[in-house]
Amino acid sequence: MKNMLLFLLLLIFTSNCKTNNFTARHSFSDYSAVIHATGIEQALTVVHITDSHISKIDSSELAYFAFSGRMDKAYHHPRHFMSDQPGTKTDHFIEIIQKAKDAQAGLILLTGDIVNNPSKSSVNFITHTLDASGIEYLYISGNHDWHYEGMEGTGDELREQWIKESLTPLYAGLNPLYYAMEKSGINFVGIDNSTYQVTGEQLEFFKNEIQKKLPTVLLCHIPLYTGTPGDHVNTCGDPRWGYESDRNFEVERRLRWSKSGNLKSTTEFLSFVKSAPNLIAVITGHTHRARVDTLNTNLLQYRTQAAYSGAHRIIKFEPLDDLDLVE
């Protein structure tokens, strides 16, 4: 009888651990990942695309050629990430979409610098290709998506202008600066940090989404600062970020980074992300190279290689079998 009582108490304790503790398990390579997590309702395959840097040059946008010339020529004849054969950015993008269809992906995630600048011709190519795939997609902007080099204005002003004038179709009615969408029991949250900063409004939105206690995936363009070796200053929340460390403002013909450094809300966002118990993945781009960093026990940050070379990452989200929790 005593042994039976101890067994029942152990069973109750184990059940409570399963209920109260959130668990995520990851396996990955440079081009794939499998994530098992508490709360995922059914398997979901997603394809991550970032930094395709598409330029479709249309004479109807002649007035903007003075602002687009450098980036229109960037990554012009990229070599394919697998075959090393020369190709085009548009062909590589179309190939990735076909691979998403072949993988029966339920969602495509696009994390910025999808276009080289906010030309409507480039945006039309992307939206047409995505819509024709029949696959649902989520987009968050990168620093190049809304930036015509040499055009006057702050990053915040130019982002607001070109979201309205060009990028709006990519959001499918979602708030461009922050949004959430649930699929297969997973809460996908987009936070636009393409100015390297996160506002107080974005921070509060993200905190509220975490309170839903769903397995959550964060989408943003700029990787979050980890403090690990090799982490460049071009990360969101890096304490070195600011006026003195900005080396590219002249080349990119934009205002120099702030003398005051990071916003308080950016620093708080970074801290909150690293402590969020039900956040299972941060999906980013910007650096053009594949990399995975551990942010906490359950949380990994995935950076995916640039799509202009045909690279992408196929991520499979799977329910966590209850038996996996008892070892």
Q: Which domains are assigned to the chain?
A: 24-325 (3.60.21.10)
Residue for token digits 């075959």?
83
293-326 confidence digits (pLDDT tens): 999 999 999 999 999 999 999 999 999 974 454 4
pTM of the complete model: 0.92
Is the Cα torsion angle 141, 143, 145, 148 positive or negative in sign?
A: positive
What does the pLDDT read at residue 327? 45
5-58 confidence digits (pLDDT tens): 333 222 322 323 333 489 999 999 999 999 999 999 999 999 999 999 999 988
What does the pLDDT read at residue 323? 40
73-112 confidence digits (pLDDT tens): 999 889 999 999 999 999 999 999 999 999 999 999 999 9
202-260 confidence digits (pLDDT tens): 999 999 999 999 999 999 999 999 998 777 788 999 999 999 999 999 999 999 999 99
Burial of residue 190, with CB atoms counted within 10 A of its CB: 0-12 exposed, 13-18 middle, 19 or more buried: buried
Rounded CA-CA distance 237/223 in Å is: 9
